[in-house]
Structure 1
Amino acid sequence: MTAPMPPFPLEHALALAAALWLALAIDCWLGEPAARWHPVVWMGQYLGWIGMRIAPPVAKVKPRDLSLFSIGALAWCVGAMCVGVVAAGVQAAMVQWLPAWVLALAMALALKPLFAWRMLRAEVLAVEAALAVSLDAGRAQLARLVSRDVSVLSEREVRESAIESLAENLNDSLVAPLFWFVLLGLPGAAVYRFANTADAMWGYRGERNGRDWNWFGKWAARADDLLSWPPARLTALLLALAAWRWPRGVAGEARRTPSPNSGWPMAAMALLLGVRLAKPGIYALNAEGRPADAADTQRAARWGGRAVLATAACASLAIFFAATDWA
């Protein structure tokens, strides 16, 4: 996080750093805003509306469909442009018209919906609490977090999936949005959240909900890969800072996953905990590690919280030093 958003006077930069910490406090105290006021929900509604009208039914899939790829790319670009323009307009108005202390609060309220730590932590710990009741309860709770079929997962596999989800989404839901906020301000965070949501809804290989997403969602998947590349590796470093040791071999383990990015935080978490994390039939991270237990889920959540604080500290310093250099 070394190249911050377009330069502001020092007082505005300090207000933006304060906004980041205020946004984290709002997340801690209040969690997510109601769905009707949530910009990421609005993004999802647009993506869902477009996707279900354009992605073809499985019976009509072509082996190579460049026109569908182009339509998907255009729909993504239109959505991303709208999100970026609105966010840029909101930011410009706040910076121009608001005094620094009001700017900090207003920017915090605008930034908060673009990341989510409290909800992620609560959902992962809820899986562990549900496992203490029964395996079926654990599976049902995990289904809120992941898109895979959970009906055949063992207790160990349910726990592994929850810890993986915490590590992966620590990047997607927090580190990456704040990374792009530092680089490009509110538009950067907003466009990243659009890209990540588009990947989650369109970026499938093959069939989902009766439609084939391979060509229509290819642009969305590649755009998310590109935007997530730096922060995913940063997330692995932040987890190492949280655990206060480096996960040796993390790069090799990360390459075992199909994704160019999600393997980094997941592999770091597996190595730091000393446990095996796997997706049956796809990959196994730290395959020689011990089975994860309930204490590992708690430890993963604790390290995630420390990584959140480290992210905010690094982001604040980057904003401050950039403003100092500019001044």
Structure 2
Amino acid sequence: MDALAVFALALLWDLLLGEPPALVHPVVWFGKLAGLFDSRYKRHSPALDFLAGIATAVLVIAFAFLLSISPFFALYPLNYVLAVYLLKSSFAIRSLHEHVARTVTEDIEEKRKAVSMIVSRDVRKLDKPHLNSASIESLAENLNDSVIAPLFYFLFFGLPGALIYRAVNTLDAMLGYRNERYEFFGKFSARLDDVLNFIPARLTVLFYLPLGGRRVFRYYRLARFKINSDKPIAVMSAVLGVWLEKPGVYRFPGRTPEDRDIKRALRVYWLIVAEWLIIVSLLLATEVCPCLSR
């Protein structure tokens, strides 16, 4: 199959139509499958919980792999339709913009509700600046998770790479918590997500350089709190000149973030998305990277 054609059609789908319905969305399926194993497994001991977590991750990843190779067993033109649909399901450009844009409001309760849809932290006691920060942080982190990384793995490993990445990222989002329930059960998923995001998170940082220069490097060096997720957040803080903080975890310096800074962050988002889409298109057009088998 023509990787560039599949990518172009998937991108067109994303920008014009957004996300497929939840009922037929592969990423939703990954989450439901992980949730099913999570709810059925009764915790026992750290060792058994860790092994059960590995088994859960392997089964979800195997399901993602089987989905990803389904187009290669379908006849033309169904093979293209499936490939476009599955690739589109691995990234979310339009919907990320829409979710973050909804947090731009003067009504604190509406803002709180909108922010709660895109972050896992408890927003009930956050003041307006911290809600603005959470919105921008989510945009910066998900720029990597929902745009850069899935297409990075598509470039090198085709549909299996894109969908397996999204499966691992979903596993981490659902199970990768440091609490009594998930400390051992979710550890494998969390560490695997760290491995897969190591290069994309740093690649994402590079796209900020034309916008922030040396300040980007300076803030990148401040990002020592997490293996990956704080890197894109730090450089977004650098470019906007606002503080971004997850209380008790990290804080990057700057002035107080306001609603207008969320709008500025969205403009930065689209500039970086454009940079990345041009690069992906050129690499696919010149066949520099191995991708969909022909």
TM-score by length of 2: 0.92
> Residues 275-327 of structure 1: CA distance to partner in whole angstroms, max 9, x if unpaired?
11001122101x2x11112221111111111211221211122223335999x
The answer to whether the 8 A contact 1:80-1:194 is kept is: yes
Q: Which residue of 2 is the match for residue 71 of structure 1?
A: 52
Post-superposition shift, 1:26? 1.2
Tell me, yes or no, if structure 1 residue 221 matches structure 2 residue 190.
yes
**Greater relative contact order, per chain length (Cα 8 Å cut-off, separation 6+):** 1
Post-superposition shift, 1:76? 0.7
Post-superposition shift, 1:216? 0.4
- Identity score, percent: 36
Q: Tell me, in whole angstroms, the C-alpha distance in 2 between the residues paired with 1:125 and 1:33.
A: 20
Q: Tell me, in whole angstroms, the C-alpha distance in 1 between the residues paired with 2:176 and 2:209.
A: 29
The answer to whether the 8 A contact 2:212-2:238 is kept is: no
Equivalent pairs, count: 291
Q: Which residue of 2 is the match for residue 93 of structure 1?
A: 73
Q: Which residue of 2 is the match for residue 262 of structure 1?
A: 229
Letter in 2 for 1:139: R
Q: Which residue of 2 is the match for residue 52 of structure 1?
A: 39
Query: Structure 1: where are the runs of 5+ without partners?
Result: 1-11
Alignment of 1:149-298 (within 5 A): 149-207=122-180, 212-241=181-210, 243=211, 245-246=213-214, 247-255=216-224, 257=225, 259-285=226-252, 287=253, 289-298=254-263
Q: Which residue of 2 is the match for residue 3 of structure 1?
A: none
What secondary structure does 2:287 align onto?
helix
Q: Which residue of 2 is the match for residue 32 of structure 1?
A: 19
Specify the structure having the higher radius of gyration (Cα): 1
The answer to whether the 8 A contact 1:239-1:304 is kept is: no
Query: Structure 2: where are the runs of 5+ without partners?
Result: none
1:320 to 281, 285, 291: 285
Q: Which residue of 1 is the match for residue 276 of structure 2?
A: 311
The answer to whether the 8 A contact 2:86-2:163 is kept is: no
Post-superposition shift, 1:144? 0.7
Q: RMSD of aligned C-alpha atoms?
A: 2.3
Tell me, yes or no, if structure 1 residue 113 matches structure 2 residue 86.
no
> Residues 56-80 of structure 1: CA distance to partner in whole angstroms, max 9, x if unpaired?
3xxx7x5xx1121011112211221
> Residues 16-44 of structure 1: CA distance to partner in whole angstroms, max 9, x if unpaired?
12322322221111111111111111111
What secondary structure does 2:104 align onto?
helix
Question: Kindly tell me: are residues 251 and 70 of structure 1, through their superposed partners in 2, closer, same or farther at Cα, counting changes over 3 Å?
Answer: same
Letter in 1 for 2:87: L
TM-score by length of 1: 0.83
